[in-house]
Structure 1
Amino acid sequence: MKPFHCGLVLPFFILASGCSLISAGGGAAEKVKVLEYTRYCSQKGCPDFVLSLYHTGHVTYEGKAYTSLMGTHLQQLPEAQWTALKQSMESANLWRIPEEFPISQYYAPVTMIRVFEGEYTKTIRGQELPYELALLVSQLDQITNNGGWKLIAPPTYGLPKGTVPNLLRIQLQANVNFEYWQSKYYEYSLAVVKNIPDGNNFWIFRFDPSRIQPLAFKELLDIDPDVVKSEFEKTNK
């Protein structure tokens, strides 16, 4: 059921003056979230992200895995696009439609949308979506794919400051060929950067952290019998 608004029933993306979370000067406006959009699926390679809309028309994209936009990115939607999006959100009737829609394809992505209004939240998920909701999802996908993003927070992956998340210094067993060994991890785009000429089969490798979380990859290396030891590269800072 749609939440109550200080005596006024308004579309969820409009904040009534008596209930607004915005400061008098408007400085907190960007923090008023109205919608989150993501997709998830059971198969490897599905983009892991959260797209968040704020009532000023600002949008953030937090890329977590299998996306070229890793970290947190920001953009301001053009007024016409933001107006059209608000109209689609109202047409989708998000506060009144069911929370669950059919999920019939195991390997296909599942859409999940959360809407916010004051202290109220609602989560909607499914694959077989009604037309108005599918249209809204299409507009959200267009925002994601159209570019114009500004990186505001690089991903940290839970690593200490000064760690290079996509570079590993790896010592292989003496009898292991590095080219053969790196082919085991082709799905993570593992590639040699350079050899460390100390005679102990030390190498620096690069991999794609959008395909596997750095700590998860380090765990794989820790149990690999061909690896003597591995550690992340550090910056000079």
Structure 2
Amino acid sequence: MIKIKNLKKTYNNKTVLNVENLTLDQNQCIGIMGKNGAGKTTLVEIIMGSKKQNEGDVIIDKTDLRKNAVFQECQYEQDLNLITIARFYKKLFKSNEDLEVLFEKFELKEFKRKRFIKLSGGEKQKFKLLIAFVNKPNLLLLDELTTSLDFIWREKIYDVLNDYIKENKTTILMVSHDVNEVAKLCQRVIFINDGIVKKDLNLNKDIKENIEILEKEVISCYK
């Protein structure tokens, strides 16, 4: 469980994030939506510890905490091949995960000796998620996850993530502009505008109904 209290982040004396009270439960995929510059990525970066707040607290149950993130920007050495990168992270995380199984899961076995820089956009996205699974995280941040993925692989990734949540009691924080993606994956959605939580919704299992609800809320956020 994650508890956020009186959280503030400022840049050049301007408040870009102001969250009074927010609790994020375990074993859920939580969507974070809002227009560009609303404060979505800033919030999750503070939760993940890659950015510091100016005020307030983020309280995380650190019992056996394993966290990881998939950001839009690449964090890997471009000229290394995939298996070398994967082995590096396995050693870094002191992980027991079977890399062969992960390469198979993301259909990247034939690319193991390929340099990261030579991958297509979709292949890079799949590999970034593969690396995120190396330490079997129970707190996972996904920032615009399915960018560059085709329809077939988007659906496959949704299945992989849904299974992963069920099997590992994982909290996933998903920053996304994609209503369909959020409707299929998330049980809860937080809408942020101008750094403030404007709406906090629980979704049901009816994807079509979820899409209709989310579309209305997204339009409202942009007004």
TM class, shorter-chain normalised? under 0.3
Answer 1 or 2: which has greater strand percent: 1
| TM-score, L = length of structure 2 | 0.27
Relative CO higher for 1 or 2, CA cutoff 8 Å, sep ≥ 6?
Answer: 2
| TM-score, L = length of structure 1 | 0.26
